[in-house]
Amino acid sequence: MQKILKTLFLFFAIFSGITHASVEKTQSFEKTLSGVQSILYSVPIKARALLSELEKVELKQNQPLPLLVRYYLQKATVDLLLNDPESAITAANSGIELAKNDPLLKADLYLMQLRLGQARILQGEEALVLDQLDNLLSESKKLNNPSVTAEILLVKGEAYKAQNDYDVSMAAFMSSLEAAKATQDALLVERIASSLGGTLVKLNGFDKASLLLDKSYQFFRERKMSFNQLLVKLDMAELAKKQGDKKQALLEYKQALQIAQILGDGSHRFRINLQIADLLLQSGDTKSMARYLKQTDALRQRETIRYYISKYNYLKANQSLLSGNFQGAIDLVTPLITGQTELARLYRTEIDLYLVASKAHFGLGDYKNAYLTLLDYQNRFNNFSADEQVDNLERQQMLFNLEKLKAENQHLSWNNVLQTLELKTNEDKVEYLNVLVVAGVLATVVATLAALWINRRRARWGKIANTDSLTGLYNRRYLSSQLDILKSGMENDSDPVCCLLLDVDHFKKVNDTHGHPVGDKVLTGIAELFKNNLRRNDICSRVGGEEFMLLLPSSHLEQAQLIAEDLRTRISELSFMTEQGDEFSVTASFGVSAVDSNQSLSDIYSEVDKLLYRAKQNGRNRVESSGQNSSDNSTEQAAEDASSMSDKFSQLSRGMRRLKFRFAQHFS
């Protein structure tokens, strides 16, 4: 019996010890979380260190579910404050997984989903977050918890602010402020008020922004909430910059830098040093600028936001420029300029890179590139300035419309105003989408019509490029292309091809006697005769002033001679009218030759031109072919030997007219 009692006592002692140790671990865990909560918004870096310590000693294991959810909520919040959205998403998802099945943890679940939304806003997913926030706000109404409602509306304001919808953002913050005042949570109220002040800076509501930011700064300072002081100081510096008070802006940034150095916040130190360096560069204090810029080098790799990266690159390029390292400035700037060509809209510092490049080219004596780059800079800067002025006017109009809406509807709460603005925003989006659809349809129609017009123009210009403008017959260019096709047919199918060259007899006399308009009528009349009497596959072209060349596919020399004789007879039977009403007729001389597949167009032309010349020498108005007997050849030789100087001059004159025609045809 005594053994049993001893065993039970020992078991009880061990169990009590384990339970006591477990309770101590839980109490320690809870105490640490309470300590984190107290410094969460004042020293987030220290809060993160405490949470990391909890992970190291594995105090998360076997802890009550509410404490674990609280742990992940604090971790996600700290990661957000320190601009680490990826870690915040991981922590938020872990907390959501734990809290989603416990109805007692609904409020924590909503806050965890809010942290997830805030992280996605930092990653540029505002539109997706806004849709989720609408659902979250609707669900949270069941809790009747104004604190949760205020937090949701606060995040909603941040999302609209990230989308540059500053009027809707302000309405969301004001609605959040109304909900927060019912909680008696002064910290929540001031967090919202400071966010509202930052939005008013964007809306150019400087007086109200100054009052809100000063009040929030005093609140956070009294409670030694350094991190919130830092955020407010940055908004106050931005306010001074927008008011044109660079001296005050520089002072605000330097005070913010002191706070960031105390906090050990590398991310904000990088950004603040850049802002200070930029202001010093504008004021001409390049020595101090270099000192502050040097502080950013070790922190550059942590930055992921394009605005600050572009400012860093711009300042480094200016530093090279100021030190006389012109080639170094060009080497730094050139790839940056190339990389930003596809960006829809550039920041001011990205545009100023063109000015830096122009100065660097000038310093190297490359005045041409300096001038061209300067022109590019001026065009981009003018566009940027115009857009910036429009943006400022639109923001002032937003604030005016917002205050007017509230003044005209005194009975409306800010939540009603928010809903009104969101409804208008959605209507604008629907209208914009409708415009896009209509524009898309119109663009499709225009593109189709343009394609048809281009095809018709292409066909028309193709025809113009291949035809003679006076007669409508083909030109030498088209004849050459068709000859290549016919020669390939000759090689493959042994299909014979013949060539005819004809010249209107005494055509110069027609022009000199009756005038060029009458001469043009003669040429168009002969061209019309060809169109009406040649076969479908025959190719007829005008190759000189009064010269025409024909390619006759599937024709032997004897057939080509018959065709030439028929055409010669029909031409001589044509009747033309002078401007005085007198009738006259013309004749034509022909040369006919068989085409060899190895001949070029120039070779063929040279051969058939000799035959045409022989026809001229033998009395004109006749056909001469390459198939005639040697006696004819001797006759040709005798004729050539006996030709007079006037005949030679006539031949030279015809050659000059032919050359003149080809030049005119080429340049047309």
For residue 389, the one-letter residue type is Q
Measured CA to CA, the distance from residue 80 to residue 83 in angstroms comes to 5
For residue 93, the one-letter residue type is N
Measured CA to CA, the distance from residue 413 to residue 411 in angstroms comes to 7
Tokens of 310: 């572009």
Among 80, 134, 131, 136, CA closest to 113: 136
Measured CA to CA, the distance from residue 274 to residue 312 in angstroms comes to 7
Phi then psi for 591, rounded to 5 degrees? -120, 135
Measured CA to CA, the distance from residue 317 to residue 360 in angstroms comes to 10
The widest CA-to-CA distance across the chain, in whole angstroms, is 160
Give Rg (Cα) of the chain. 46
Please, are residues 192 and 149 in contact by the beta-carbon 8 Å criterion? no
Give the length of the chain.
668
Tell me the C-alpha to C-alpha distance, in Å, between residue 435 and each of 442, 446, 564, 613: 10, 16, 67, 72
Tell me the C-alpha to C-alpha distance, in Å, between residue 85 and each of 79, 95, 198, 414, 529: 7, 15, 21, 30, 85
Beta bridge partners of 502: 548, 590
Using DSSP bridges, classify how beta strands 588-594 and 576-577 pair: parallel, antiparallel or unpaired. Answer: unpaired
Using DSSP bridges, classify how beta strands 588-594 and 623-625 pair: parallel, antiparallel or unpaired. Answer: parallel
Tell me the C-alpha to C-alpha distance, in Å, between residue 569 and each of 383, 573, 584, 585, 655: 74, 6, 15, 12, 25
DSSP-H helix ranges across 243-322: 246-263, 266-283, 286-294, 306-322
Angle between helices 65-81 and 106-122 (to 10 degrees): 20
- The residues assigned a catalytic role are 546
Measured CA to CA, the distance from residue 319 to residue 167 in angstroms comes to 39
Measured CA to CA, the distance from residue 208 to residue 266 in angstroms comes to 31
Beta bridge partners of 590: 502, 623
Measured CA to CA, the distance from residue 450 to residue 365 in angstroms comes to 47
DSSP conformation class of 497: E
Among 288, 370, 287, 360, CA closest to 324: 360
Please, are residues 263 and 229 in contact by the beta-carbon 8 Å criterion? no
The CA-based dihedral angle spanning residues 317, 321, 324, 325, taken in that order and rounded to the nearest 10 degrees: 30
Please, are residues 299 and 266 in contact by the beta-carbon 8 Å criterion? yes
Tokens 């593109």 appear where? 447
Q: Which residues, 6 or more positions from 262, have their beta carbon under 8 angstroms from its beta carbon?
A: 226
Beta bridge partners of 576: 584
Other C-beta atoms lying within 10 Å of the C-beta of residue 595 = 25
Tokens of 580: 């005085």
